[in-house]
Structure 1
Amino acid sequence: MTIETIPARKGLRLRSLLGRRMARKAGRSSLSPATSAEHARARMDKAGRQLPMPKGVEVARTEVGGCDALAFAPENARKGVLIYLHGGGYSRGSALSHRALVARMAKAFGLNAVSVNYRMAPEHPCPAAIEDAVAAIEAVMETEKGPVILSGDSAGGGLALSATIRLRDAGKRIPDALYLLSPWTDLSMSGESLAAKAMRDPMLNPGYLGAGGELYLGGRPGTDPEASPLFAEMNGLPPTLIQVGSDEILLSDSTRLAEKLEAAGVPVDCEIWEGMWHDFQIFSPLIPEADWAIDRARVWVELQLA
């Protein structure tokens, strides 16, 4: 296992401060339980339409495994596919809200990509999202014989892990690699960073997490391994890259996951980005650190494809 701290670059304080301000605004407007799920979803989709898109990537609506999705086709696409599961606390977010991020990843990795709209809480608590993710992954892998990279941020990162575990337990093909961005893996909220980083994370706070977790759990305990994959067995999972900010309340969800993966013999790299917050990659290309993180992931993906 490699847990590596990526040091902050000098001379970028102003852009980092502006990024923090945007993250704080995004958290309050879209993740706060004071905002209804309906309004939060609309706000996140609006923000997704406004983020600049990279050139050379075609985007189209599609359907995969019974789920609505967006398909991304970069000009430099090669054999293989990237499957993406969006974040948003299991009750917010969509393929549209994360469109710019997935387009940048698809272009950087040189892979066609599909971003899945799965069922969300409170209308559909756990395990509806897992069922949709598994159906979409299986549908893609039925036709895609090349490598499959599964990725997701925040709740989508936890969902990617949960779906892979379900496929493994069923004895089915699993993705060839996992790329997890600030994954939410412990809905019991037992990580020490929840308190230690509460004053540093501009986007998330324990109250936001607690309210979203209750909606998704639907009465299940927070330690249920299906909802909180940190408590599941990790053996037999694919190589995994985790990227997380040093200033986010979910830092412990990432570091504990990396430790469990290593103990199970799974190749894992965990990058802790100094001074960064939850889901900072979403702010590409507005802050340089987001672009650098995606580029480091590109190098890691190249090794997996090789």
Structure 2
Amino acid sequence: MTEITAIRDLLSSKPRPVGWGERRARLDEVGTHWPVAEDIQCTDIQCDGIPGEWSTAPGSDADKVLLYFHGGGYCSGSIRSHRRLVTEAGRAARMRTLAIDYRRAPEHPFPAQHEDALAAWRFLRRQGIAAEDIAVGGDSAGGNLTLALIGRLHAAGEPLPRCAWLISPWTDLTMSGATLASKDAIDPIIHKAYLEELAGAYVPAGQDRGDPLISPLFADLHGFPPLLIQVGSAEALLSDATRLAEAAGIADVPVRLEIWPHMIHAWPVWNAGLEDGRRALCAAGAFMRNAGS
């Protein structure tokens, strides 16, 4: 059995959950299948009322920070579900990490998540961390939120982070990507009907899902910092990533697109049991260290 087959078996070992509570519990369960490494130090923090968590690996530079937004379709996911991913990314980047438990839909629809992301950014800046010493990253909806935060900062003429790291980003909530159909049969996690349910919970009725803050694929990316986009070839959201890379290239943004054969949505979450997850984090760590140099 290959490693990715074992991850697929883990994901399918129980019936697909229904209801927000069950979905949140299931994502926490599969995300914590492997615990955090023993040499990682984690500390709770309140970022102006928003729960967060610092993590530090041996040798991390305390003056540089990865600000991370978890995935989960804006409706699930947590610091807990993504802790192994975030802490090992910090190790690879040799930076401290700050993971944020932003508010989730449907209890808190758009733009609550954007307000929390901006508050976390402001919190870091008030701690004396320079913008160029902050990398911002996220997977799936967290990648969406990463791009939206940078767009808001750019529109306001504020200093931007050194780079953005995007894993399997959900960039188009209008659901126009071709791979939503062509990869549906092989993606064990993401399906169009599921995304429609998530988008319906997240986006208020009557709001245009093509709004660049909701679907950053349609944003003006001119002036954005360097982007690393990592996506699996077995993902329904593959075209969300490839079209973003094209849009960034058209806007003269330094962009690197990595398409990992046979990998599934947000596969670095299971890095402890997946060599390609560890390799992806090593590549991301080098990108974050070297961005702007």
Same fold (TM over 0.5): yes
Does residue 277 (structure 1) correspond to residue 256 (structure 2)? The answer is: no
Counterpart in 1 of 2:176?
190
Alpha-carbon distance in 1 for matches of 2:233, 2:97 = 28
Instruction: Write the letter of the residue equivalent to 1:23.
Output: L
Gaps of 5+ in 2: none
248-257 or 219-228, larger mean C-alpha shift: 219-228
Give runs of aligned pairs for residues 170-189 of structure 1, distance below 5 A: 170-189=156-175
Q: 1:132 aligns with which of 113, 116, 121?
A: 116
Deviations 1:237-264 (A, max 9, x none): 1100000001100001000000001111
Alpha-carbon distance in 2 for matches of 1:28, 1:51 = 20
Alpha-carbon distance in 1 for matches of 2:149, 2:216 = 9
Alpha-carbon distance in 1 for matches of 2:104, 2:163 = 25
Gaps of 5+ in 1: 1-12, 30-34
Alpha-carbon distance in 2 for matches of 1:27, 1:125 = 27
Counterpart in 1 of 2:76?
92
Counterpart in 1 of 2:49?
66
Q: 1:155 aligns with which of 116, 141, 158?
A: 141
Alpha-carbon distance in 2 for matches of 1:25, 1:256 = 33
Counterpart in 1 of 2:91?
107
Counterpart in 2 of 1:16?
4
Q: 1:36 aligns with which of 19, 22, 29?
A: 19
Q: 1:77 aligns with which of 36, 60, 63?
A: 60
Instruction: Write the letter of the residue equivalent to 1:14.
Output: T
Asked if structure 2 preserves the Cα contact closer than 8 Å seen for 1:181 and 1:244, the reply is yes
What secondary structure, in the 3-state scheme, does the structure 1 residue paired with 2:2 have? helix
Does residue 248 (structure 1) correspond to residue 248 (structure 2)? The answer is: no
The Cα shift of 1:63 comes to 1.1
60-69 or 177-186, larger mean C-alpha shift: 60-69
Counterpart in 2 of 1:203?
189
The Cα shift of 1:85 comes to 0.1
Asked if structure 2 preserves the Cα contact closer than 8 Å seen for 1:141 and 1:148, the reply is no
RMSD between aligned alpha carbons? 1.6
Alpha-carbon distance in 1 for matches of 2:242, 2:49 = 34
Instruction: Write the letter of the residue equivalent to 1:80.
Output: K
Counterpart in 2 of 1:291?
278
What secondary structure, in the 3-state scheme, does the structure 2 residue paired with 1:152 have? strand
Does residue 122 (structure 1) correspond to residue 106 (structure 2)? The answer is: yes
What secondary structure, in the 3-state scheme, does the structure 2 residue paired with 1:248 have? coil
Alpha-carbon distance in 1 for matches of 2:64, 2:182 = 40
Instruction: Write the letter of the residue equivalent to 2:11.
Output: A
Give runs of aligned pairs for residues 221-260 of structure 1, distance below 5 A: 221-260=208-247
Asked if structure 2 preserves the Cα contact closer than 8 Å seen for 1:147 and 1:305, the reply is no
Matched positions, count: 289
Alpha-carbon distance in 2 for matches of 1:49, 1:274 = 24
The Cα shift of 1:46 comes to 3.8
Asked if structure 2 preserves the Cα contact closer than 8 Å seen for 1:235 and 1:264, the reply is yes
The change in CA–CA distance for 1:50 and 1:18 in structure 2 (over 3 A counts) is closer
Deviations 1:102-152 (A, max 9, x none): 111111111111000111111111111011101101211232136100000
Q: When the two structures are superposed, what TM-score results if normalisation uses the length of structure 2? A: 0.94
Q: When the two structures are superposed, what TM-score results if normalisation uses the length of structure 1? A: 0.90
Counterpart in 2 of 1:217?
203
Give runs of aligned pairs for residues 48-63 of structure 1, distance below 5 A: 48-63=31-46
The change in CA–CA distance for 1:48 and 1:280 in structure 2 (over 3 A counts) is closer
109-118 or 71-80, larger mean C-alpha shift: 71-80
What secondary structure, in the 3-state scheme, does the structure 2 residue paired with 1:204 have? coil
Counterpart in 1 of 2:129?
144
What secondary structure, in the 3-state scheme, does the structure 2 residue paired with 1:285 have? helix
